Amino acid sequence: MASDDGDIHLRWMQAAMDMAEEALEAKEVPVGCVFVRGDKIIARARNRTNQLRNATRHAELEAIDEILANKELTPVVTQYPLSDTTLYVTVEPCIMCASALRQMGIKEVYYGCDNDRFGGCGSVLGVHSVLPHPKHEGYDAHGGYLRDEAIMILRRFYITENTNAPVPKSKANRVLKTEIPSRSSPRPQS
Ligand SMILES: [Zn+2]
């Protein structure tokens, strides 16, 4: 039944949100994800760009590295190692990750909030399926799962002092906004 499907998506997204909370505690931009195969989480990861001083260390790529390096999860090298794997990530994958996921043949993607600045699943570029590619087929991406929670955890991060910034700016007077505008596009059907 459709509503049961929706519950399952929210359950996996909650697991991704737990990873985003872990990122927040580590003072990273709070984005988390899980990869699900056969009704089981096979990898969970979160953003580690500050810790590793590497701007490519987004949650999705961290998890993909883990899956490919694990011989039980990836026994043989194939062109599309994620063709039976679904991604749940708290924020729409960026252009870089959206492209990597396509090259890995990801089955499907569910995400929380839109990524208005870098989104590669439609917000900035439709890397997931709209842009033609001579070789890699596109994949479906569905947004809006735990969207408000995904937005709020990002706000909680950005309102605190960013000690990694070259010139720390005082944000002491900033107030955490709790009002969330609704999406321009319709919410996903569950
Ligand atoms: Zn990314």
Per-chain residues with Cβ under 5 A from ion ligand 1: 58, 94, 97
Over range 134-149, report the average pLDDT: 96
Nearest Cα to 89, choosing from 107, 116, 109, 73? 109
Radius of gyration of the chain (CA): 17
* 188 pLDDT above the threshold of 90: no
CA 40 – ligand 1 centroid, Å:
23
Give mean pLDDT, residues 68-80.
Answer: 95
> Is residue 80's pLDDT more than 90?
yes
Is residue 1 over pLDDT 70? Answer: no
The pLDDT of residue 170? 60
What tens digit of pLDDT does each residue of 48-66 get?
Answer: 999 999 999 999 999 999 9
Q: What is the pLDDT of residues 103-113, one digit of tens each?
A: 999 999 999 99
pLDDT higher than threshold 70 for residue 99: yes
Q: What are the residue boundaries of the structural domains of the chain, listed by start? A: 4-159
Give the position of tokens 């749940």. Answer: 88
Between these two residues, 96 and 171, which has the higher pLDDT value? Answer: 96
Q: β-strand 108-113 against 140-142: which pairing, if any?
A: parallel
CATH class of 4-159: alpha beta
Q: Which residues are catalytic?
A: 60
Alpha-carbon gap, residue 126 to 118, rounded angstroms? 11
| CA–CA distance, 24 with 112 (Å, rounded to integer) | 16
Rounded CA separation 34/86 (Å): 8
Band (167; pLDDT cuts 50, 70, 90)? low
List the structure tokens of 114: 């839109």
Mean of the per-residue pLDDT values of the chain = 90
pLDDT grade for 171, boundaries at 50, 70 and 90 = low
Residue type, 65: D
Confidence of residue 4 (pLDDT cuts 50, 70, 90): low
11: its two tokens? 């359950």
Q: What sign has the CA pseudo-torsion 128, 130, 134, 137?
A: positive
Phi, psi of 136 (to 5 degrees): -90, 125
Following CA atoms 7, 9, 14, 15 in sequence, which dihedral angle do they give, to the nearest 10 degrees?
130
Distance in Å, CA 1 to ligand 1 centroid: 32
Predicted local distance difference test score (pLDDT) of residue 189? 45
- pLDDT the model gives residue 2: 46
pLDDT at 185: 52
The counts of H helices and E strands in the chain are 5, 5
Residue 169 has pLDDT above 70, yes or no: no
For ligand 1, the distance from its centroid to the CA atom of residue 31, given in whole angstroms, is 9
